[in-house]
Structure 1
Amino acid sequence: MVKRTSFEGDACPVARALDAIGDWWSLLIIREALSGQRRFGEFQNKLGMAKNILSARLRALVDHGILAIAPASDGSAYQEYVLTPKGRGTFPILVALRQWSEAFDDRPEEIATILVDRAKGRPVKKLELRAEDGRLLSSADTTLKPRPAPRRRSAG
């Protein structure tokens, strides 16, 4: 496997996120984990990945704190991969990718599923970025500015 450049220490939060989840296999593993898959064989069957690639991606996701290894929930000797809070936090990222694909794919009719609210059975609304006051924002409405320096506590 080719060694990727690490963005772990990069000042950009997008680059840092991509360091943890930026390859497509990792995002697909997370997708499957969000759908309830927990075992190596389940991931392999669903994704059709080579064992060595799956092992490397699972190890990286564990190293980044996105997945954790736990004893099998059925009491067997197997181990399972469970999403951590950090891993569950990727859900909006995957929803955003899904909705982007649904909006811009050349053949949207070939997309096999729709995301629905489990309780109501209705499609999920498109994600929106809103200002603190509730206004809908686009990229033209935002900018980056330096983070304020941490406040020093006074002694005494």
Structure 2
Amino acid sequence: MRNTLRAAMFFLFAVLILGACGNSNKDVGKGPDEPLQKNNTLVVKEDVEGGTLNSGSGYGFNKFDLEIEVDGQDVVDAQYAVAKSHSASYENKLADLKLEGTEAFNTLDGLFMNIMLTKDTSKKDAIDKIMKWFGLDTYTKFDLEVDFSDGTKLDIDDRK
């Protein structure tokens, strides 16, 4: 009786294991060279609707235009737009940089990820974060225009 019980338990265990390892014929390739899963990519809802870094939603905005002057001299000029042209330019005269395209995107990415502007960011916080990023203590002109993905805008035009 004991051996019969063991044999029955072993048989039940084997059936469960083989059943769990089975294949339900979903996404099975047609030949030996085709992968079992045809599409193994993760699709995020915003990606399907166009909400990636390429459309601005990755940063939360579609347009970023910054100009900082110190002692009347243009020191920083950064432009980022994805709505129509998907372009970027970045000029920092303090660091003697003038970048366009991919190089500008890469540099601005560090700025955007560090300052993390949102539609709820106050003008003072935006100025403080950006000035800290560039290592500037003062300015004579601070002009920032940001168009957020939800249609709101942040416009700062401050002169000292």
- Give the TM-score band, short-chain normalised: under 0.3
Q: TM-score, normalised by structure 2?
A: 0.22
The TM-score, its normalising length taken from structure 1, stands at: 0.23
Larger radius of gyration: 2
Q: Which has the higher contact order (CA 8 A, sep 6+)?
A: 2
